[in-house]
């Protein structure tokens, strides 16, 4: 009798172990800690990249080993192309459980030529400003999160703080990513979704160009709406940060201003309803985790961001001698100029 009980216990353990082995080898399942590659378009010092990484860590930090790679395309697209090839070799060596690809250049340079429809490895994108169809998304192994600028909300908030604003100019550094942001702006203008007329779209490549453009908008536009200027060149051809470029441009314009990015408000813009890099990273990481836990990728449609964070630079508010209705300040993040 005892031998029969021992035999049954051994048989039960065998089937349990066999079931676990089969489950672990099934497509769509992996074993924690997961191995995850995060491929970012920009450098680790860029504030947007840091926000996205923080969102990713919040979801996957305790469940995955995160391996970060940076294409640094704000400094050089050509260098980014070479880096993408090296990262692909790392991908083949590492065989990660999943990949998160951040911003548009990571799609053009890495996911589209090397991973999309070529591997079973799930790839989740985020921070993508273009129509995902441009990259062939969703692909058999790719889905993710698109990024849209809160243009309408930015302009409405600017008017609440300064009712004299009746027009705006938009400025963003010349780059493939901001090409897509300008496409969104022009679409919303044509569709009548914006509360103010646009008098100019300004696309500088250097800080000198940006300053000259801003000066020329004095008296033409009531508000200067800024996206990132990260990567504009100084007179020696050295790429500058937003912290270096934005204050110079705002001084040249001299009037009300707004920013689509949080750091633009930190560096002197009056206000912003800013997109959240944290939201992008968090959403992408949650999608990837769902796939790693067994949800088929085709059941996860492309998402988009909705979280707009209202910010006011109180130093600039005082400089412009504005006294808005306190109701408009409620719930906004108040920052002081840096």
Per-residue pLDDT, 4: 52
**The predicted structure's pLDDT at residue 321:** 95
Tally of structural domains, the chain: 2
Torsion sign (Cα): 328, 332, 334, 338: negative
For residues 168 and 261, membership in a common domain is answered with yes
| 171 domain-assigned | yes
pTM of the model: 0.83
Each residue's pLDDT, cut to its tens digit, for the chain (338 residues) gives 444 545 445 544 445 444 434 334 334 456 789 999 999 999 999 999 999 999 999 999 999 999 999 999 987 888 999 999 999 999 999 999 999 999 999 999 999 999 999 999 999 999 999 999 999 999 999 999 999 999 999 999 999 999 999 999 999 999 888 999 999 999 999 999 999 999 999 999 999 999 999 999 999 999 999 999 999 999 999 999 999 999 999 999 999 999 999 999 999 999 999 999 999 999 999 999 999 999 999 999 999 999 899 999 999 999 999 999 999 999 999 998 76
Residues 96, 178, single domain; the answer is no
Q: Looking at 2-130, list the stretches that DSSP marks H as alpha helix, in order from N- to C-terminal side.
A: 2-25, 47-60, 77-94, 104-106
Paired tokens of 72: 């640094």
Verify that 66 and 132 share a domain, yes or no. yes
CB < 8 Å & 24+ apart, contacts of 30-35: 30/97, 30/98, 30/292, 32/63, 32/64, 33/63, 33/64, 33/65, 34/60, 34/63, 34/64, 34/65, 34/96, 34/97, 34/98, 34/292, 35/64, 35/65, 35/67, 35/94, 35/95, 35/96, 35/97, 35/98
One domain, residues 155 and 264: yes
174 lies in some domain? yes
In a domain, 251, yes or no: yes
DSSP letters along 252-281, please?
HH-SEEEESSHHHHHTT-SEEEE--HHHHH
Q: Is residue 18 part of a domain?
A: no
Q: Do residues 202 and 330 share a domain?
A: yes
Q: Is residue 4 part of a domain?
A: no
Q: Is residue 22 part of a domain?
A: no
Query: Domain span at residue 217?
Result: 151-274+309-335
Tokens 């020329």 label which residue?
216
CATH number at residue 47: 3.40.50.2300
Residues 76 and 90 in one domain: yes
67 shares its domain with 205 = no
Do 165 and 295 have their domain in common? no
In angstroms, the CA 17 to CA 145 distance is 38
Same structural domain for residues 124 and 261?
Answer: no
Pinpoint the alpha helices (H) of the chain.
Answer: 2-25, 47-60, 77-94, 104-106, 151-161, 176-190, 207-216, 242-253, 262-266, 277-292, 314-319, 326-329
Predicted confidence at residue 182, as pLDDT, reads: 96
Q: Which of 317, 337, 307, 267 is nearest to 160 (CA)?
A: 317
Q: Which two tokens stand for residue 304?
A: 């988009």
Are 181 and 231 found together in one domain? yes
Reply yes or no: is the peptide bond before residue 57 cis, omega within 30 of 0.
no
Dihedral of CA 147/148/153/158: which sign?
positive
Under DSSP, the state recorded for 197 is -
Whether residues 178 and 313 share a domain: the answer is yes
Residues 234 and 319 in one domain: yes
Has residue 209 been placed in a domain?
Answer: yes
- Would residue 324 count as lying in a domain? yes
């Amino acid at each position: 009798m005892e031998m029969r009980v021992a035999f049954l216990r051994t048989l039960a353990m065998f089937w349990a172990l066999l079931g676990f082995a089969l489950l672990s080898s099934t497509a769509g399942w992996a074993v924690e800690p997961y191995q995850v590659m995060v491929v970012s378009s920009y450098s680790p010092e860029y504030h947007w990249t840091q926000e996205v990484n923080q969102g990713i860590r919040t979801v996957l930090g305790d469940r995955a080993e995160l391996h970060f790679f940076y294409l640094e395309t704000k400094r050089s697209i050509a260098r980014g192309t070479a880096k993408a090839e090296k990262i692909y070799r790392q991908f083949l060596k590492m065989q990660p459980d999943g990949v998160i690809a951040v911003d548009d250049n990571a799609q053009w340079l890495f996911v589209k030529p090397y991973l999309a429809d070529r591997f079973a490895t799930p790839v989740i994108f985020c921070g993508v400003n273009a129509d995902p169809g441009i990259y062939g998304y969703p692909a058999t192994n790719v889905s993710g999160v698109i990024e849209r600028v809160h243009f309408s909300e930015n302009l409405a908030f600017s008017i609440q703080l300064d009712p004299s604003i009746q027009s705006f100019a938009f400025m963003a550094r010349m780059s493939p990513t901001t090409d897509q942001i300008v496409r969104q702006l022009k679409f919303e203008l044509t569709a009548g979704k914006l509360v103010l007329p646009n008098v100019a779209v300004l696309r500088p490549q250097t800080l000198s160009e940006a300053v000259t453009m801003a000066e020329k908008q004095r008296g033409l536009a009531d508000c200067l709406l800024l996206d990132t200027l990260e990567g504009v060149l100084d007179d020696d051809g050295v790429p500058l940060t937003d912290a270096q470029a934005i204050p110079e441009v705002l001084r040249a314009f001299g009037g009300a201003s707004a920013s689509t990015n949080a750091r633009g408000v930190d560096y002197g813009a009056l206000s912003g309803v800013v997109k959240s890099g944290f939201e992008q990273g968090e959403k992408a990481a949650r999608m990837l985790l769902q796939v790693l836990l067994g949800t088929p990728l085709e059941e996860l449609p492309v998402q988009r961001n909705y979280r707009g964070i209202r910010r006011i630079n109180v130093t600039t508010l005082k400089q412009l001698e504005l006294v808005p209705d306190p109701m408009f300040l409620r719930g906004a993040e108040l920052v002081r100029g840096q």
